[in-house]
């Protein structure tokens, strides 16, 4: 039986790169998308569902995916407030995970952030950590949490000035981040997408957290 793959957050940087990789590899026949807005990239024979977020759980129940990949994520500027940011990066991620578990998904792969910690004082890192806690609570057969450093890649749908400046400085800064600090280095979004494809082929049960070095090992 073919494995059904569901991607949420495909309009983002990593989601878009992942989509192209899977379509190029011929996985589009068993690929599904759940989106908040229309997707204009070529998805081959994949099935696209554009719906209000409150309808996502019912659609996940109908799809019955085997693997769910969450590339959901926003920024404080784009979300507009802490409440709206948490609604996407924590609450929506948690709702998707709960629906995926109820629908029988065996594996869940999620993009988080380096230093994510539900006990952190920093709001962004705390929210990401709380989202991870919600994922763990679902007890999937296999849960893969990816914690990349600063993502490098061309964003076509939004402008992030602060991030752009950090990326410009990353070649020098990365040289200073050695040993355990390598987790904070910048990383290509395409490398993260490649790692996701590799993780989809893993079957060992358990919960796994993948930081930069683990991602690079899969590229």
Q: For residues 19 and 33, give the distance between their C-alpha atoms in angstroms, rounded to a whole number.
A: 9
Band (pLDDT 50/70/90 cuts) for residue 184 is confident
- Provide the residue count of the chain: 219
Distance CA 35, CA 51 (A): 6
Q: What is the CATH number of domain 5-217?
A: 3.40.50.720
Q: What is the mean pLDDT of the chain?
A: 90
The residue ranges of every structural domain in the chain are 5-217
**Separation CA 64–CA 71 (nearest Å):** 19
If one compares 187 and 2, the residue with the highest pLDDT of the two is: 187
Q: What are the tokens at 34?
A: 């759940």
Q: What is the average per-residue pLDDT within 141-164?
A: 76
Count of Cβ atoms closer than 10 Å to residue 3 Cβ:
12
Q: Burial of 130 by CB count in 10 Å (0-12 exposed, 13-18 middle, 19+ buried)?
A: buried
CB–CB of 107/143 below 8 Å?
A: yes
If you write DSSP's letter for every residue of 191-207 in order, what string do you get? HHHHHHHHHTT----EE
pLDDT tens digit string along 28-38? 999 999 998 88
pLDDT digits (tens, 9 = 90+) for 84-113: 999 999 999 999 999 999 999 999 999 999
Q: Are 66 and 3 in contact (CB under 8 A)?
A: yes
Half-sphere exposure of 27 (CA within 13 A, CB side): 18
Q: How far apart are CA 185 and CA 148, in angstroms?
A: 8
**How do residues 59-80 score in pLDDT, each as one tens digit?**
999 999 999 999 999 888 888 8
For residues 143-167, one letter each, b for 16 or more C-beta atoms within 10 angstroms of the residue's C-beta and e for the rest, the string is bbbbbbbbbbbeeeeeeeeeeeeeb
């Amino acid at each position: 039986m073919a494995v059904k793959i569901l991607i949420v957050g495909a309009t983002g940087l990593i989601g878009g790169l992942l989509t192209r990789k899977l379509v190029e590899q011929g996985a589009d026949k068993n690929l599904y998308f759940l989106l908040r807005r229309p997707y204009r990239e070529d998805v081959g024979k994949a099935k696209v569902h554009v719906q209000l977020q409150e309808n996502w759980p019912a659609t996940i129940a109908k799809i019955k995916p085997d693997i769910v990949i969450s590339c959901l994520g926003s920024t404080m500027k784009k979300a507009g407030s802490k409440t709206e940011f948490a609604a996407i990066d924590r609450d929506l991620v948690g709702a998707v995970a709960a629906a995926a578990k109820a629908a029988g998904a065996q594996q869940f792969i999620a993009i988080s952030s380096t230093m994510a910690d539900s006990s952190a004082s920093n709001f962004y890192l705390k929210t990401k950590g709380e989202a991870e806690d919600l994922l763990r609570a679902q007890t999937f057969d296999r849960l893969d949490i990816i914690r990349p450093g600063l993502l490098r890649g061309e964003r076509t749908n939004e402008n992030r000035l602060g991030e752009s400046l950090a990326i410009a400085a990353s070649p020098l800064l990365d040289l200073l981040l050695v040993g355990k600090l390598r987790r904070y280095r910048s990383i290509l979004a395409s490398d993260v997408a490649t790692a996701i494809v590799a993780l989809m082929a893993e079957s060992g049960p358990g919960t796994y957290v993948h930081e930069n070095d683990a991602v690079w090992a899969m590229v």
